[in-house]
Amino acid sequence: MNERVIYNLDMKLQGYNITSIMTPETYFVVSQPDLVEGRELPSFVSMDCNMNEIRRITFSERKKSFYPFYKYSVEVHGIGRMESMKGLERIEVKVNKRSIEMTGEKRRDNAKVIFSILDVPTLTWSENDITSFLREQFGVRLKRKGERTYLIENLNYVNDKVNVKVIDVDSWPLPLSQLSSNLAGNLL
């Protein structure tokens, strides 16, 4: 099925705002369930032309419009920042071995969003590297909460124009966890 649609600013796919996972390197977006705390939650993964995972966003609320295992071929102009986290009252940042994970929540209805950044160029993780990367790339200031855990101080979001053209939609036959070990090793 060929579709030619251009989205500006907020990229919504299947009813979810996935603008934050869009980068100029993104060629594909895959919808898949993600197992978090024993619950299967809707998740979207952006991938480059070699099917390497770039960014991932997981939502705590499952809408009826979520259809897993679809692969969208996209063309992206611009870079998504924190747009998918709009309206969240508290965002916690955790630095993992080779990725940064932001978990945001809205206290009123316990809605949560988990945004994972996997295309981090830094190999050493000094506090200055982390804070400068997030300030430059996402426009956020951090306040230290614990060891490798931070809170975002400024919850005003940087809005950049992001144009996304959906070129093609295919079924994605296998969940990422069932891919061959060679490809799965690159993705995880």
| pLDDT above 90 coverage of the chain, percent | 16
Question: Could you read off the pLDDT of 108-137 as tens digits, one per residue?
Answer: 777 788 888 887 775 566 777 877 888 888
Average pLDDT over residues 23-41: 89
d(CA 16, CA 66): 8
User: Measured between alpha carbons, how far is residue 106 from residues 13, 44, 80, 113 in Å?
Assistant: 21, 20, 21, 9
The confidence score (pLDDT) of residue 117 equals 87
d(CA 178, CA 159): 36
In the predicted structure, residue 150 carries a pLDDT above the cut 70: yes
Q: How confident is the model at residue 2 (pLDDT cuts 50, 70, 90)?
A: very low
pTM reported for the whole predicted model: 0.80
In the predicted structure, residue 45 carries a pLDDT above the cut 80: yes
Encoding tokens for residue 33? 């369930």
**Residue 77 contacts residue 162 (beta carbons within 8 Å):** yes
| Mean per-residue pLDDT of the chain | 78
Q: How confident is the model at residue 28 (pLDDT cuts 50, 70, 90)?
A: very high
In the predicted structure, residue 187 carries a pLDDT above the cut 70: no
Beta-carbon contacts of residue 178 (< 8 Å; ≥ 6 apart): none
Among 27-36, 151-160, 170-179, top mean pLDDT goes to 27-36
Question: Could you read off the pLDDT of 49-102 as tens digits, one per residue?
Answer: 999 999 999 998 888 888 899 999 999 888 888 878 877 777 888 877 677 888
More confident residue, 100 or 9: 100
The confidence score (pLDDT) of residue 42 equals 93
